[in-house]
Amino acid sequence: MVNAVALFATEGFGAANLPYGSFSLDGGNTFRLGVRLGDKVIDLGALAATVPGLSQKAQAAVSFHNLDLLLAEGATTWRPVREWIVATVTSDEHADAVTAAAHDIESATFQLAFSPADYVDYYASEHHATNLGKMFRPNEAALKPNWKHLPVGYHGRSSTLVVSGTNITRPKGLRPRGEDAPSFGPSERLDIECELGFVVGGSAPTGEVSVQRAAEEHIFGVFLFNDWSARDIQNYEYVPLGPYLGKSFASTVGTWIVPWDALKDARIAPSERTEPLADYLDDSEAAGGPYGLDITLGVTVNGETVSHPPYGLMYYTAPQMVAHMTVNGATLSPGDTFGSGTVSGFDKNQRGSFIELSWGGKEPLQLADGTEMTFLQDGQVIGLTGTAKGAHDETIDFGDCIGTITPAT
């Protein structure tokens, strides 16, 4: 019998990828940890019970209902687990065992693949930050003086991170009305932020995780991430302490968590740094090369692609973000999550938010059916896509990250 990769692999979901997800076959009553191969999700607990090669700790971790135990064990466990998975699905000897543990994705229900701990969102795209600066501060420099010296970010709300497919209820709040008093009601400028998200594992109880250690020991996986934003609510509240209700109502996490180690072939140099970085952020001599990632993202409206944000143009990398969040002594815990910030490029069709695509609502976006839109409308299905180069010239597909807008309550 041929191996499971030959049997099940599809474009984007072959042996180079094998992303993790938490799935249920009984409508959401019980969940299992799995990896995706083609259009199948493979039950890792069932596989570990029949295929030898894992330590006792590793077998317990993959038999859990999500990634939490694997994240807690750290890189010294999750790397051998990935090696075991790759070896198993590419082995003719274990094809029957993989087939027995494989289930159709269409028959499964999914939850968040991990339990989010702390959550931080960054603002690491120079093009996005410049576009918003031009809109909001037309008489000032688009970038604030600190922007090229540190990754700007804010501490968000982890309890409202939701899995792909969860409906997004239009949030309510105070909306500015020029010189008049603000009005309370549903957001009139609901938006997306097309991002990548990252989840870390292992612990750093005293903080100060270096760029190198972040990459080698702590960043576990990467996923599509839509940090929904109510621009009108955010605009009224964010000075002087930053985003709050305009951001905390929902952020969508992609179904599949692509292992950090699967993206080695996608690594590229980040955008040129035009200001010197502090030593703790310096990644110029990183072992194995720089930590930029050549990932092409997509934004869809009811299935129509309206933008292709290029992650490869980001100014700051994920390991730098970990180094920054811990340099003051802040701890790092399994399940800590952070977003890259909106990804945008040079061109209009590379913008990762509708505030940019419509230039603050002044230049409506025309869809293929001739309709125009500025911000999100009730009933629209908004999706993110992502692909990268994987090992052996395979494509890595990040799967789905979808939310449908429902009316305010």
Instruction: Return the amino acid letter for 47.
Output: L
pLDDT in tens, 328-384: 999 999 999 999 999 999 999 999 999 999 999 999 999 999 999 999 999 999 999
pLDDT in tens, 158-167: 999 999 999 9
Report residue 150 as tokens.
């540190």
The predicted pLDDT at position 204 comes to 96
Report residue 280 as tokens.
């703790």
Q: How confident is the model at residue 290 (pLDDT cuts 50, 70, 90)?
A: confident
> Which whole number is the average pLDDT over 77-85?
98
Task: Say if residue 173's pLDDT is above 90.
Answer: yes
Give catalytic residues, as residue numbers: 128
Q: How confident is the model at residue 63 (pLDDT cuts 50, 70, 90)?
A: very high
> Which whole number is the average pLDDT over 307-311?
98
